[in-house]
Amino acid sequence: MPATFHTEQWVPYPVELVFAFFANPYNLPLLMPKFFKVRIEEAALAPPPSRPVAPDPALRLKSIAAGAGSRFSVSACLVPLPLINFRVPWEVEITEFAWNHHFTDVQLRGPFRYWKHTHSVSEETRANEAGVPIHGTRVSDDIEFTPPMALASSAIIRRQLASNFRTRQKKLDSILPKLVASLNRR
């Protein structure tokens, strides 16, 4: 039975923007810890279904999105030592895709015996310190995995995933304001 990992983050940006950012596989390296040196080695992108038209013209984004059937290969240095540049290949396929809701990637080849990652977004309004409502997006990640070796501990992998996602969340908090600023300059 696979182990599981779940994490969530709230960001003060619209679902359309946040989903579009995550649906572009070329943004993955921007979110990973630097020492992993993540690279997209190859991508065969399948077109997603037609994008719903956002009510706000500023959110009518023209970005790359990996629809169901997309496959891509990434590589990463899993040993964070400067002199060791052993890259681990990882091939995934997008098996589900629903605009502004979720997409799921499944490992075809890579470091785990099994890996399934569902990225979900949903609208969520929160109040700031003054009680003013702020519309935003809850980003949820649900991962099912089987460790690479029988001796590998799911608890150790969960700790590493938690650390990786803390990094990703911090990076997302700095990337999205820049993305919004660039959209406002169009």
Output the pLDDT for position 69: 98
| Spatial distance between the Cα atoms of 101 and 103, rounded to a whole number of angstroms | 7
Q: Is the pTM of this model over 0.95?
A: no
> Does residue 114 contact residue 146 with C-beta atoms inside 8 Å?
yes
What's the pLDDT tens digit per position in 70-84?
999 999 987 666 666
Amino acid at 45: L
Domains in the chain, start-ordered, CATH in brackets?
A: 3-184 (3.30.530.20)
H helix intervals, the chain:
15-23, 28-31, 154-184
Assigned token pair, 130? 């003054």
Q: Angle at which helices 154-184 and 15-23 pack, to 10 degrees?
A: 120
Output the pLDDT for position 51: 80
What's the pLDDT tens digit per position in 173-185?
999 999 888 877 7
Q: How confident is the model at residue 64 (pLDDT cuts 50, 70, 90)?
A: confident
Q: Average pLDDT, stretch 80-97?
A: 84
CA contacts within 13 A on the Cβ side of 15: 19
Whether residue 18 has pLDDT greater than 70? yes
> Does residue 121 contact residue 15 with C-beta atoms inside 8 Å?
yes
Output the pLDDT for position 115: 97
- Chain-centroid distance, C-alpha 145: 16
Output the pLDDT for position 40: 96
CA contacts within 13 A on the Cβ side of 58: 11
Output the pLDDT for position 47: 93
**What is the chain's mean pLDDT, rounded?**
90
For residue 33, the tally of other CB atoms under 10 A from its CB is 15
Percent of the chain surpassing pLDDT 70 = 90
Residue 105 buriedness (CB in 10 A; 0-12 / 13-18 / 19+): buried
